[in-house]
């Protein structure tokens, strides 16, 4: 059979499923995508020696249940199956059929509730490998599919692999070279097509579980791809480096010397970790960090994904991003350097020694925050809100807004802007000097203020008999208010 025959077989098999549904644009796109991937998969199998019919059958078996995929996709899109055609009446040569007595209704059969998430029922164990664990100094894993590392009290490393199709050339290999344990995935098709909906999967799918002896304290390096990855309860390791693309990553209850994570669009969750140096780089995926100790430094470089920090203790804290949002709570650090573009930052219960903050059109708000040394903050058209804030600093804005409510002031406060509005709320008993300049805007100070200069554009004076700090404000068309 020729390539043309192969394509006809694929189209015929797909039509049996797709003809049950309306020809919506989504269904047409899905048909084209499935046809292309099944054709490439079958062509690869024909090149390996299968006939066209064998190759098409194997390609469909590898892909999975097309009917179930269509059901899931159309349910999500609110599309239902075509109504079944009414049966054609059979000719009745014997005359009219006498009426049939009605049948008593059958009581409905109770249907157990469906679970929210279904496990992938297509996975079956294909192999189990073991290598000695004694005196292991490093583990290196190259595995593109789902991967889990879990602890074991045994002395050996054990790899258990599951696949949707039992093809030995796809099996992973686990070897030991010197003091290093290596795990290498087997062959992967260049035309592989994997789709997941509600934890159901189509296409080739593999999963590996590596049982790591609790006695292992060496370095760990993992290179993943689109598969999900979970590392948990592995004790104290050396250096840990993880690279993952579109898969999700969960790391829980692990300590070590340094942690380096490089991700793409997948989500990352880090919980109960203790690494003196922790570095995370992601593109558009979301990152959640909970109860993490980073005595030397914690750095995060993100794109448009969101970042959630909850209970983080760090020596230095470096956060950079684009348009993603950030949420902080219970943060303790010596030095914090934060920069982003148009996202939003909400921080609560933060204690820092130094803070350098910069962003463009985003918004930042710090609640119940203490910064020991004067902070430096600069932004353009965004806003900065300080509530129950202890500290001082230099704040530069363009057309944005500044609203600072200080519980305690530890130094001078300087706010410089163009068209933005500035409001500074100080403690009731605060005594301070003020030096305010504006062009076309308005200025307001407490009624008890004593002026040494009160011109059209500049107000200079003090509040209280013994000023302890100075509030400086300068705007073009905005307003300045001290309360």
Look up residue 460 and give its two tokens: 């200079």
255 vs 316: CA distance, rounded Å = 18
Residue-wise DSSP of 6-60 = HHHHHHHHHHHHHTTS---HHHHHHHHHHHHHHHHHHHHHHHTT--HHHHHHHHH
pTM check: above 0.85: no
Residue 165 is predicted with a pLDDT of 84
Which value, in Å, is the radius of gyration of the alpha carbons in the chain? 32
93 burial type by CB count under 10 A (0-12 exposed, 13-18 middle, 19+ buried): exposed
pLDDT tier at 366, thresholds 50, 70, 90: very high
CB atoms within 10 A of CB 250: 16
Give the 3-state secondary structure percentages of the chain, helix then strand then coil, rounded to 5. Answer: 15, 50, 40
Distance of CA 178 to the CA centre of its chain: 36
Q: What is the pLDDT of residues 68-121, one digit of tens each?
A: 888 888 887 888 887 766 655 545 444 454 444 443 443 443 433 333 334 567
Distances (CA, A) of 275 to 221, 254, 297: 15, 8, 9
Query: What average pLDDT does the segment 386-393 reach?
Result: 97
Query: What are the pLDDT digits (tens) for 30-50?
Result: 888 888 888 888 888 888 888
d(CA 343, CA 483): 29
Distance (Å) of CA 150 to CA 201, 242, 254, 300: 23, 16, 11, 26
User: Does the pLDDT at position 226 exceed 90?
Assistant: no
Q: Is the pLDDT of residue 347 over 50?
A: yes
Q: Tens of pLDDT along 128-169?
A: 999 999 999 999 999 999 999 999 999 999 999 999 888 899
Q: What is the per-residue pLDDT for 381?
A: 83
pLDDT at 222 over 80: yes
Contact between 365 and 346 under an 8 Å Cβ cutoff? The reply is yes
């Amino acid at each position: 059979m020729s390539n043309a025959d192969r394509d006809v077989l694929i189209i015929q098999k797909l039509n049996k499923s797709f003809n049950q549904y309306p020809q919506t644009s989504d269904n047409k796109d899905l048909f084209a995508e499935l046809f292309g991937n099944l054709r490439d998969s079958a062509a690869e199998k024909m090149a390996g020696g299968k006939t066209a019919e064998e190759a098409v059958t194997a390609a469909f078996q590898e892909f999975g249940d097309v009917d179930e995929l269509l059901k899931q996709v159309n349910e999500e899109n609110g599309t239902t199956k075509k109504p079944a055609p009414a049966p054609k009446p059979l000719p009745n040569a014997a005359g009219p059929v006498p009426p049939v007595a009605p049948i008593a209704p059958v009581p409905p059969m109770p249907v157990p509730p469906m679970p929210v998430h279904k496990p992938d029922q297509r996975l079956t164990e294909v192999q189990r490998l073991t290598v000695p664990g004694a005196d292991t100094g490093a583990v290196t894993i190259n595995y593109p599919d789902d991967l889990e590392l879990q602890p074991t009290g045994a002395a050996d490393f054990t790899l258990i692999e599951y696949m949707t199709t039992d093809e030995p050339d796809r099996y992973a290999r686990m070897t030991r070279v010197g003091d290093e344990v290596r795990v290498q995935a087997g062959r992967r098709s260049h035309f592989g097509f994997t789709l997941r909906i509600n934890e159901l999967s189509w296409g080739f799918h593999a999963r590996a579980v590596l049982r790591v002896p609790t006695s292992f304290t060496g370095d760990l390096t993992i290179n993943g791809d689109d598969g999900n990855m979970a590392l948990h309860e592995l004790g104290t390791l050396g250096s840990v480096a993880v690279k993952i693309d579109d898969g999700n990553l969960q790391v829980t209850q692990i300590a070590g010397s340094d942690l380096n994570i490089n991700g793409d669009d997948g989500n990352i969750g880090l919980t109960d970790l203790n690494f003196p140096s922790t570095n995370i780089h992601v593109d558009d995926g979301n990152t959640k960090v909970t109860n993490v100790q980073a005595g030397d430094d914690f750095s995060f470089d993100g794109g448009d994904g969101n970042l959630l920090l909850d209970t983080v203790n760090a020596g230095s804290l470096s956060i950079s991003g684009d348009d993603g949002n950030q949420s902080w709570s219970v943060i303790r650090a010596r030095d914090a350097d934060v920069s982003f573009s148009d996202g939003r930052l909400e921080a609560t219960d933060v204690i820092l020694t130094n803070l350098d903050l910069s962003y463009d059109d985003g918004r930042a708000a710090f609640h119940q925050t203490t910064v020991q040394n004067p902070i430096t903050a600069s932004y353009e058209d965004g806003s900065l809100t300080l509530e129950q804030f202890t500290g001082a600093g230099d704040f530069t804005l363009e057309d944005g807004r500044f609203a600072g409510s200080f519980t305690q002031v530890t130094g001078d406060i300087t706010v410089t802007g163009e068209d933005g509005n500035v409001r500074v709320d100080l403690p009731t008993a605060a005594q301070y000097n003020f030096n305010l300049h504006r062009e076309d805007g308005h200025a307001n100070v407490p009624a008890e203020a004593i002026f040494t200069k009160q011109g059209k554009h500049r107000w200079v004076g003090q509040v209280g008999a013994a000023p302890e700090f100075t509030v400086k404000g300068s705007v073009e068309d905005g307003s300045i208010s001290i309360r």
